[in-house]
Structures are given as C-alpha cells and as structure tokens.
Structure 1
Amino acid sequence: MELAADPTTTAPALLLRPWRPSDAAALVELGRDEAMRRWTSAAVTDLAGARRWVREQMSGWESGDRLAFAVVETTTGAEGPRPAGHVVLKRGAPGSATAEVGYWTAAHARGRGVAPRAVETVTDWAFRAFAADGPARLRLLHQIDNTASCRVAHKCGYDLTAVLPAAPPDFPGAGHLHERQRPQ
C-alpha cells in the first residue's frame, strides 16, 4: 500500500509506504533528535530497537489494527531517500466508530509541511478506504505544550474537543484531543 501527497511550491512530493527492515539504520539516526525523544514514546536508540520497532509496524499491517507509513520525500539526497516522518492509523475493534491518527516528523524535514500533508493524506485515505465499515471519527492526540502538533491538527481540519489530564507513563503531560468527522 502506497499513498502520495502532492508537492508544494517549497517542498517535494511525499510517498507514504509501509516501513521496511531497510529503514532501521535511518531510524537510529532520527532517534538521536532531542525533539523526537521528547514528543514520541517510541523513539529508538539503537539498531536492535529500530529493527524491533519496524517489525511492530509490519505486524500492525498484518493484523490490520495499526497501519503505519514511512513518509519519504520523493527527491533524494546524496544518501538516497530517507524517512522524513511517520504517520499511522490506529484502528479500533472492527466496526468501531473511532480510530486514531498519530505522526512525527524527522528533524531534517520540519517546517516544510511534511506532517500536515502526511496527516491529510492518511485522513482522506482512511475515510475513503474504510467508508463502509470504518471509523466515522478520527482522533489526534498530542501533549498540550506541543504547539507544532496543535498547528498540524488545525491545518488538517481536526477540531480541539478536549483537554486531557496526564496519564503517565504513556502520556506524561496534559494533552489535547482533536477530532475530525468523516465527510457526509
């Protein structure tokens, strides 16, 4: 399964594809970013952890409950294409009215619209692909002090619906809950 996000005047097109074992080394590099470690609960620090994380993403595709995409810019640098981010659709039980969208952006790709384009692409895909038996509402959660994630949510049409208390260890700080309804 691959999805595409169109280029903008300042950024190349994006390819959203399932994570691959060959992405593990790049994940270790991305995991060195302090912001990644601060805002994500799944930042990896070594190759074994990266391989395990990629296997978990692949397992989610097999079960159908966690559809995770590596976000790759279509232009390649000297080192070739590398992940610019991650976006995931976490599906609830079959027939559930709600699913969750999560994402992160690599340091080298921040500020170029990667997250909003990836989230919008997966949101539109989820509502189309699972129209018959899928969620009527998508949720997006982030820590309250992650203002960049709040901007992404608003850009993608996710309304702020609640402020959530901290729930350590998975959600150590208070958070925002944003939601978007399936178009009628």
Structure 2
Amino acid sequence: MSIILRAPATGSAPELLLRPWQDDDRDELLAAYRDPVLRHWTRIPVTTPAQARDWLSQAQRAWQDGSRLSFAVREPDADGGDRLVANVVLKRVLPGRPDAEVGYWTAAPARGRGIAGRAVDALSGWAFARYGPGGLTRLDLLHQIDNPASCRVAEKARFRFVEVLPAHPPFPRDGHRHVRLAEPAG
C-alpha cells in the first residue's frame, strides 16, 4: 500500500508521516502495548509476538477490504530514521455511507506533545477528500467520559462535542461523541 499522509511540521514539532502498518512494525507495536495506560483504553491485547502478528495481519486485511484503515504514525528520530508515535484509524467507512468513525492511540513517550491531534486532523482531511465525493459528510470520534485527554485531542483535530452516550458493552462507562463535518466545497 503506497498511501502516505503527512501532518505538517509546526514551529515546535516535526512533520508526521502516516502510513499503513507493515509487518516490520511488530517490535514497535509490542513496545507501545507494554504501556498499561494504552492497554487500559484499548480492547485488543497485544502482549506477545503472536498477538502482534495477528494485530498487523488484521490491520492489513481490513485495508484490503476497505473496512478499517489503520495508519502507523511515525516521527523522525535523532538517527535519521523514524519511530512509531501513534496509531490512527478510519473505521466503518463504506461507499455511499455519510458517516464513519475515527480512532487513535498514542505511544507513551509521545503523549502530551500534540501528536494525536495532528494525526487525527490529517487523517480526517484525507478521509473527507477521498470519500466525500461518495457521500462522507461526518466523522465521529468516540471516547469514554473518564478520558479527558481524548476531549483535548478531539478539539485540536476540529471535532466538536455533541453528546454524552450511555455505556454500551464492551465500554463500561458513558462516553462522549465528538463530530467533525466535511467543509463545504468552495
């Protein structure tokens, strides 16, 4: 898959590259999931090499069928390469469907630096450009009510808070729904 998205550099942060997950991301994926905070907010455990392989295989299959488009978010490192800092995903995108959902997580060393908001914003702009002509007009960002950091990410990515949602398995607490609408053509 050759899709590469970019979140532009800011005055204090380098450009971010968003690309589909690859098999050689396994070790960095495992390292990210060692973080108990990340594991608390995600539903699928990734604690063994086999689970990481399965996670990556599922992500690649979902790209092939177009149902769930996950991107590894990468930032330049001091050695001239890059490192994994986050994951962003476009869920429930179907041709002609007016809405889809955006999700994300941020690796522990990258939190608090605005990476998630920038990556979600880049993904959202791409989603509207790619799927808007087919009918995509709204993106939802959902999170549990006890996750105020996700409210900040939503705001930075131009999603507005619209409602509290009641708890619904597998989510044990009420949640927030934030919405970003496609910008009018013009």
Partner of 1:70: 72
Partner of 1:32: 34
One-letter amino acid of the structure 1 residue matched with residue 60 of structure 2: M
Partner of 1:124: 125
One-letter amino acid of the structure 2 residue matched with residue 94 of structure 1: P
One-letter amino acid of the structure 2 residue matched with residue 76 of structure 1: D
SS in structure 1 opposite 2:38? helix
TM-score, with normalisation over the residues of structure 2? Answer: 0.93
Please state how far the C-alpha of 1:80 moved relative to its aligned partner. Answer: 4.7
Please state how far the C-alpha of 1:93 moved relative to its aligned partner. Answer: 3.4
Partner of 1:146: 147
Range 20-29 or range 3-12, more displaced: 3-12
Count residues with an aligned counterpart. Answer: 182
Partner of 1:137: 138
CA distance in 1, matches of 2:109, 2:80: 13
Please state how far the C-alpha of 1:22 moved relative to its aligned partner. Answer: 0.5
One-letter amino acid of the structure 2 residue matched with residue 93 of structure 1: L
Q: Identity of paired residues, percent?
A: 50
Please state how far the C-alpha of 1:78 moved relative to its aligned partner. Answer: 5.2
Runs of 5+ unmatched residues, structure 2:
none
CA distance in 1, matches of 2:179, 2:25: 31
Partner of 1:2: 4
SS in structure 2 opposite 1:131? helix
> What are the within-5 Å matches in structure 2 for residues 1-184 of structure 1?
1-73=3-75, 75-77=76-78, 80-169=81-170, 171-184=171-184
One-letter amino acid of the structure 2 residue matched with residue 153 of structure 1: A
CA distance in 1, matches of 2:156, 2:13: 17
Distance 1:79 1:173, change over 3 A: farther
What RMSD over aligned residues (CA atoms) do the two structures have, in Å?
Answer: 1.5
CA distance in 2, matches of 1:123, 1:70: 15
CA distance in 2, matches of 1:22, 1:157: 32
SS in structure 2 opposite 1:88? strand
Contact between 1:141 and 1:178, CA under 8 Å: does it hold in 2? yes
Range 160-169 or range 142-151, more displaced: 160-169
Distance 1:77 1:44, change over 3 A: farther
Please state how far the C-alpha of 1:104 moved relative to its aligned partner. Answer: 0.6
Contact between 2:62 and 2:68, CA under 8 Å: does it hold in 1? yes
One-letter amino acid of the structure 2 residue matched with residue 136 of structure 1: T
CA distance in 1, matches of 2:132, 2:63: 18
